[in-house]
Structure formats: structure tokens, C-alpha cells
Amino acid sequence: MPAVVIVGAQWGDEGKGKATDLLGSRVDYVVKFNGGNNAGHTVVIEGEKYALHLLPSGILTPGCTPVIGNGVVVDLSVLFEEIDGLEARGIDTSRLKLSTNAHVIADYNRSLDKTTERFLGKRKIGTTGRGIGPTYADKMNRLGIRVQDLFDEKILHAKVEGALEQKNQILTKIYNRRAVGVDETVEELLSYVDRVRPYVTDTALLLHEALRRDETVLLEAGQATLLDVDHGTYPFVTSSSATSGGACTGSGIAPTEITRVIGIVKAYATRVGEGPFPTELFDEDGERLRVNGGEFGTTTGRPRRCGWYDAPVARYAARINGVTDFVLTKLDVLTGWDRIPVCVAYEVDGERVEEMPASQTDFHHAKPIYEYFPGWSEDISGARELSDLPANAQAYVRELDAISGSRISAIGVGPGREQTVVVHDLL
């Protein structure tokens, strides 16, 4: 009955899709438990590139059941756009399951996301503008619309009316926007009812039964540890629980069922949007990482901020998530540097600090303390075993393994599914 969680150990875009896909053929269920279409997984299979935003990457693996859990916020127009896009490329999406308790992103929440950001000006979060934050806020405010509400028109109408009573005040009086009509919102949501019905189910029960049958369930986090609403660099975070604890609340699987937690960590670091990022580079090294690593947002196309590997961040992620194994991704992007800096600790207001500071002010002041490792120039994309890597690349991996808080069990050396060095089996 293995329930395995995959989490991002940095600020997102660590390459979780690839790791999920790597396990895919041995996994019976892949569950998305948080976030929405703010995520972006890029999976390359036999040279074909698939960019997924909302659908769990297990959708690409024949025989695997992809599940959108209760912790996700769902934009139904995006859901069907993605389903149609995959079907057009010959991918069967009929196995998809969608939780009856997942919340749906209404049009007014997309408008509010963008409007709020614009009004925040310099204090903006840099959200993806997909309505994620406002929809989670509605959930906590008990103003949200759930998938199950679509099947009871009277309830749906009452809930939309209740939500809009408040939203329209905000939209018109604070932001000077036009009011949104109850009927137009209800109509838009109802237009998906027939299409969505076959996918909707009690996913918590489904997964519980799967675990009782000894099937393997993979819970895949959207975003990452440092973007988690509780454990991330608040307020520059997403609005959901992107850490392993969120895997339980966002799916209905109990903590005692989780057998393994895999943390995905890039061999360097990136961040999208605003917020602290101690190892960020503003020079040509940063540009080189961005170009070599293809560091442009899958969802928004925004250029990602790039920097060197940050070991205190990795240790923090190991601790918060209970990481049992790290997958180190994109090691090949570091090929060609003479020496590679690794942040091993911070200097905060003149003092050396070994761990992630608990105070946000301290983290904003944190300056990286680097150690330097010799680089390599050989092409490593064909490596399949640790011993295939040049000695300096092996030493770099060994060093990260020693200082990151958990062992490194797999290493990505290229975008393809097969371009991976497996040190320890992940299941």
C-alpha cells in the first residue's frame, strides 16, 4: 500500500513532471492535491513535448489513473482545453477522476486576481493571474463553489449570488470595475455540467480503496515548499499547501499511509514572481542558466529568476516535508562552468547562519556564503549511472548529497524521460 508524495524543494519548476513520469509505469494513481492551472509540468516523451497546467502528469501514462483531489482549485475552461488538446494528440483522458469537493475558479476570481495585483503596485506578489488566490480565499471564507454544486442548480445559484454580493462591492467600489451578473456566472458554470459529470467522484474513497488493494498512489504537489502558504516565503507564496502535509488534506489520504516523500531539487535554483531569493544572479551567469536551462515559465512564459544551489533551502525542505529521497534535476545545465558556487550558509546582518532564518526580515537580509566546486565540460546527457559522470560532476553531486538533508536518489541529465541516473530505486 505505498502512498508516495512528490514535492518541489525550492520555488517551483524543479522538474517534478519528469520525476512523476519516471515512476509512472509503476504507479496506479497520480493525484494532484493542491494548486490549479498555475502549475506547469513539462514532460518529454519520445521527443514529444507536453505542457500540462492542470491535469496530473500521470495522464500521459497508459494504465495510470489521474486524480484531481479536493485540495485543487479547478478552472473548468482550462480543464477541457487541456483534455481536448491531449485527445487531439491521441492521448486517452477518459480515466481522469475529479473530486466532488474540489473548488472551481469562477470568472470573478480571475478578474479579482489580476485587479488586486495591479492595485498592489510595488507590493504585488507576481501571481500567475489565474484566480488561484481569490478562489482559495473564498474556500476559507466559506464562499466557494465546489464541483458538486454544479449538479444542484438551485444551490449553485444561491452560492454564486452569495459570493457576488460581496465581490461586486469590492469590484465596483474599491476597484472601479463593472459588477458581475449572477446569471452569467451560473450559466458559464452550468455549461460544463454534462462534460464534467463522468469524471466526478469521491476521490478520497477511491484512493483509500486503492491503497487497501495494495495499489501504488503517487501524490504530486503543485508549486513547491518555499511557495507553500504556511512554510514558504509568505506573503510571496501561492495560496495552497504545497508541502507533504498538504498531500493528506488535499487528497483525503491519512498521514499514516504515506510511505515515501520525494523532494525534487534543481542543481541550481529559480524563482518566478516576487519575493526573497538569496542566491539570485543578476549577471551573465544568471542569463546563462536561464538560457541553458530554458528557464521561462510553462504557464506564463515569464523569464525565471536564476541563481546557484542553496543548501539551507534544501535542508529546510527536507525537514518540513520529511524528504526520504531527493531527485536532483537539470545537472546537465551546469556543464561548461569552470567552477560552480554552492550556497552552504547565509550571512545575516554580519552573522553566519546555517539554517533558513525563521524571520522573514532576516531572510530578506540573508547573503549567501558560497563554497566553490570545480566544474566539468563533458556532455553528461548520456550518463545512466553515477560512474558515467565526469569525476567533478560526481563530486558536485556527492557534496550536495552530504549537505542537503537527505540522500540524492536520482539525477536528471537531460529533458527526456530516459535521461536519468538512478542511484537508489524510488519505489
Looking at 39, 171, 253, 311, which residue binds ligand IMP (CB under 6 A)? 39
**DSSP character string of 160-214:** HHHHHHHHHHIIIIIS--PPPPHHHHHHHHHTTHHHHGGGEE-HHHHHHHHHHTT
- Binding to ligand IMP by residue 127, rule CB under 6 A? yes
Could you give the angle at the alpha carbon of 149 between the alpha carbons of 144 and 151, nearest 5°? 165
13 makes contact with ligand IMP (CB under 6 A): yes
Binding mask 272-301 for ligand IMP (x = CB under 6 A): xx----------------------------
CB of 300 to ligand IMP, least distance (A): 7
Judged by beta carbon, residue 61 or residue 233, the one nearer ligand IMP is 233
φ, ψ of residue 131 to 5 degrees: the values are: 85, 10
DSSP string, 79-128: HHHHHHHHHHTT---TT-EEETTPEE--HHHHHHHHHHHHHHGGG-----
Q: In this chain, which stretch among 236-244, 254-262, 286-294, 375-383 interacts with ligand IMP, using CB under 6 A? A: 236-244
Q: How far apart are CA 372 and CA 370, in angstroms?
A: 6
Q: Is 115 in the site for ligand IMP (CB under 6 A)?
A: no
Residue from 22, 59, 132, 248 touching ligand IMP (CB under 6 A): that is: 132
The CB-of-32 to ligand IMP minimum distance in angstroms stands at 12
- Does 235 participate in binding ligand IMP (rule CB under 6 A)? no
Distance CA 367, CA 142 (A): 41
Cα separation, 131 vs 147, in Å, equals: 16
- 214 counts as catalytic: no
Least distance (Å) between residue 393 CB and ligand IMP = 26
41 in active site: yes
Between CA 318 and CA 308 the distance in angstroms is 18
Residue 12 sits in the site that holds ligand IMP (CB under 6 A): yes
For residue 186, state whether it binds ligand IMP (rule: CB under 6 A): no
Q: Which is nearer to ligand IMP, 61 or 239 (CB)?
A: 239
Give Cβ neighbours of residue 47 (< 8 Å, ≥ 6 apart): 416
Q: Which is closer to ligand IMP, CB of 33 or CB of 396?
A: 33
Q: Looking at the DSSP assignment, which residues form a beta bridge with residue 183? A: none
Q: Which of 211, 241, 209 is nearest to 226 (CA)?
A: 241
Residues that bind ligand IMP (CB under 6 A): 12-13, 38-40, 125-128, 130, 132-133, 222-223, 227, 236, 238-239, 272-273
